[in-house]
């Protein structure tokens, strides 16, 4: 067997034919080992051209927004981030902060409105000169309901049936005592005959027109020995304004009353009334069996009803009602020069309590069904209770709704 090149056989360097395409035993062609030149590719070193950025005119339109999922929430998509407004509103912390902010705003508003109204309230000089009773425990307020038409237009006077525009008598005179014992509201009939400094025996309601609040305070202090610490005055329009501001009040007349002079026509039984009717109800006296003694009862009833509405949570929570209530005070209410906003607040709170189980409401004890003469024996017990701040000693014998002994 002949030796094959590459298989261990003899190889004398002449048998290359099979490798270079020739025949065995022949010499390789002259260029058998010549390197084949490499042909360069035409684009081998060419730099690829850059593509220009599309202009606004040639820019492709943005893809349409993804449709919402059946649950109503927008689907996640390219560029959509988490934590948007909807996500924040679903967090408990968001609602806690929101409620806290609303509470702070409500608190500031509730506190600011009375102070704003207070800046417009009239301040009244009421303390008389000369000798006065010394300081006494507790606080005694004098509440005067003047029939002054100040601040009322001719149309309003007609609507409220107030009559003479120049009248300045005191239709309502009340003493309110607050202290360690029960709060007591004592009505003084307007026709009470008293000793008036400089004028002798006169009806007490004329003191205001003769010498203003100072003479009225002096007369009461001289007759009772009670020191007047604070003074509150309300005009006719004030009653109607406050009642309307709190959304009306409930009154419960024991009988139907038709009083043309006061502008009142009301049926028997409990019913809601507006400011105009409430004012007429508190002023009427001509059609009552006891005249002014019945009227002071209705006045206290109206005051207590207003107080119940004032302390109602809805009055404070309703910003509109709160605004109307506080802004009904300026123009129709006056407070003593030394009265602060805190003193006024204490008075308002006490007025809400006297109509309930925490207080007493009385009419000055009078004799023989007359509103002109005080029953001094029974009255002195009340005066002493005010002076010594021992109102818990007042009994039903001294404190009656009409001022008459044993007559409610």
Q: What is the DSSP string of 321-346?
A: HHHHHHHTSTTTEEEETT--HHHHHH
The helix (run of H) or strand (run of E) holding residue 158 is helix 154-159
Q: Are 117 and 125 in contact (CB under 8 A)?
A: no
Distance CA 21, CA 33 (A): 13
What pLDDT does 2 receive?
46
Distance CA 219, CA 213 (A): 10
CATH number for the domain formed by residue range(s) 122-393 = 3.40.630.190
Q: Are 363 and 293 in contact (CB under 8 A)?
A: yes
Please report, for residues 39, 116, 184, 201, 319, the alpha-carbon distance to residue 326 in angstroms, rounded to integers and kept in the order given. 104, 9, 25, 39, 11
- Number of residues written out for the chain: 408
Give the single-character DSSP code of 46: P
Q: What phi and psi, each to the nearest 5 degrees, are found at residue 272?
A: -85, 135
Average pLDDT for consecutive 10-residue bins of the chain (408 residues)?
48 50 54 58 56 56 57 53 58 79 86 83 90 95 74 57 56 90 91 93 92 95 96 82 89 90 90 92 76 81 81 81 81 84 83 73 84 90 96 91 80
Q: What phi and psi, each to the nearest 5 degrees, are found at residue 259?
A: -125, 100
Q: How far is CA 261 from the centre of its chain?
A: 37
What pLDDT does 203 receive?
92
* E strand residue ranges, 226-283: 230-234, 249-251, 257-259, 264-266, 271-273
Distance CA 80, CA 82 (A): 7
Residue indicated by tokens 């099979």: 18
What pLDDT does 38 receive?
61
Gyration radius of the chain over CA positions: 49
Q: How far is CA 179 from the centre of its chain?
A: 28
Helices assigned H by DSSP within 354-396:
376-388
For 34, other C-beta atoms within 10 Å of its C-beta total: 8
């Amino acid at each position: 067997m002949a030796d094959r090149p590459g298989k261990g056989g003899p190889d004398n360097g002449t048998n290359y034919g099979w490798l270079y395409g020739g025949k065995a035993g022949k010499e390789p062609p002259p260029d058998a080992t010549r390197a084949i030149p490499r042909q360069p590719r035409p684009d081998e070193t060419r730099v690829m051209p850059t593509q220009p950025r599309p202009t606004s005119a040639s820019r492709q339109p943005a893809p349409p927004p993804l449709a919402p999922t059946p649950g109503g929430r927008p689907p996640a998509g390219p560029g959509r981030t988490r934590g948007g407004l909807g996500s924040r509103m679903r967090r408990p912390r968001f609602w806690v902060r929101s409620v806290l902010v609303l509470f702070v705003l409500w608190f500031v508003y509730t506190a600011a409105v009375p102070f704003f109204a207070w800046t417009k309230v009239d301040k009244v000089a009421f303390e008389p000169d000369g000798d006065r009773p010394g300081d006494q425990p507790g606080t005694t307020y004098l509440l005067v309901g003047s029939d002054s038409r100040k601040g009322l237009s001719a149309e309003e006077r007609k609507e409220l049936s107030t009559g003479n525009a120049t009248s300045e008598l005191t239709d309502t005179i009340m003493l309110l005592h607050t202290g360690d014992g029960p709060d007591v509201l004592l009505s003084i009939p307007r026709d009470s005959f008293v000793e008036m400094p400089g004028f002798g025996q006169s009806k007490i309601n004329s003191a205001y027109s003769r010498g203003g609040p100072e003479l009225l305070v002096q007369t009461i202090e001289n007759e009772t020995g009670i020191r007047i610490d604070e003074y509150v005055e309300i005009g006719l329009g004030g009653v109607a304004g406050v009642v309307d501001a709190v959304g009306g009040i409930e009154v419960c007349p024991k009988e139907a009353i038709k009083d043309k002079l006061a502008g009142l026509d009301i049926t028997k039984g409990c019913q809601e009334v507006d400011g105009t009717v409430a004012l007429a109800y508190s002023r009427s006296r001509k059609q009552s069996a006891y005249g002014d003694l019945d009227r002071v009862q209705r006045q206290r009833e109206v005051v207590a009803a207003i107080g119940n509405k004032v302390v109602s949570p809805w009055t404070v929570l309703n910003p509109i009602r709160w605004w109307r209530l506080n802004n009904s005070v300026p123009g129709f209410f006056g407070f003593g020069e030394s009265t602060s906003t805190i003193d006024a607040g204490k008075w308002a709170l006490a007025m809400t309590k006297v109509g309930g189980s925490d207080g007493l409401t009385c009419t000055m004890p009078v004799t023989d069904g007359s509103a002109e003469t005080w029953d001094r024996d029974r009255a002195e017990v009340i005066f002493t209770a005010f002076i010594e701040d021992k109102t818990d000693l007042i009994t039903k014998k001294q404190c009656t709704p009409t001022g008459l002994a044993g007559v409610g």
